[in-house]
Amino acid sequence: MENFDGISALSTELNAKKKGSGLSIFTHEFFDQSVTWADIAWLKSITSLPVVVKGVLTAEDAEHAISAGVAAIIVSNHGARQLDGVSSTIMALSEVVRQVGGRVEVYVDGGVRTGTDILKALALGARAVFLGRPVLYALAVSGEQGVRDILTMLAKELKLAMQLSGQTDVNDLSKDLVVHESRIARL
């Protein structure tokens, strides 16, 4: 129970402020709201590592990121925890990929739960996908072996999805594999 030491003091402090929910107060205080695209130049000046920006959901932000000199973009809505009602990553991916036009790599993070999710993201132009919740849940349930199991399961699901859609190479996937529900309604 040592992990919870001081939690009542924090709760009392948050309740005293009463300017919103505890999550809202935490987010406001934890995240630096003064960060701008210009800060990427500073970050690039202090490291030789490639700078990758996460949280891009629009063509405009993709262009800002490229102009700032990033090495890659991660299309992410941060698990949709930061802003309720924000676009899903799979819905934003095509717009970002189209805007980027191959100038930097595009990855996707969020909403990836199955091998077919991976297939769709790759077909829509993501170079790779990142996994959050599936890995965390597997780790919580079965530790390292759980993570191995979920990664094996996702790889098998991706392989099956590719086979069932007649695909043999992830580098040859086409966005035509993904049909949006609005297109089905017109058929």
Residues identified as active-site: 78
- Distance between CA atoms of 103 and 85, rounded to whole angstroms? 29
Please check whether residue 177 is in contact with residue 122, taking contact to mean a CB–CB distance below 8 angstroms: no
Q: Residues with Cβ < 8 Å from 115, sequence gap 6 or more?
A: 153, 154, 155, 156, 157, 158, 159, 160, 161
11, burial (CB in 10 Å: exposed 0-12, middle 13-18, buried 19+): exposed
What tokens appear for 153 in the block?
Answer: 């399961």
- Cβ count within 10 A of residue 95: 19
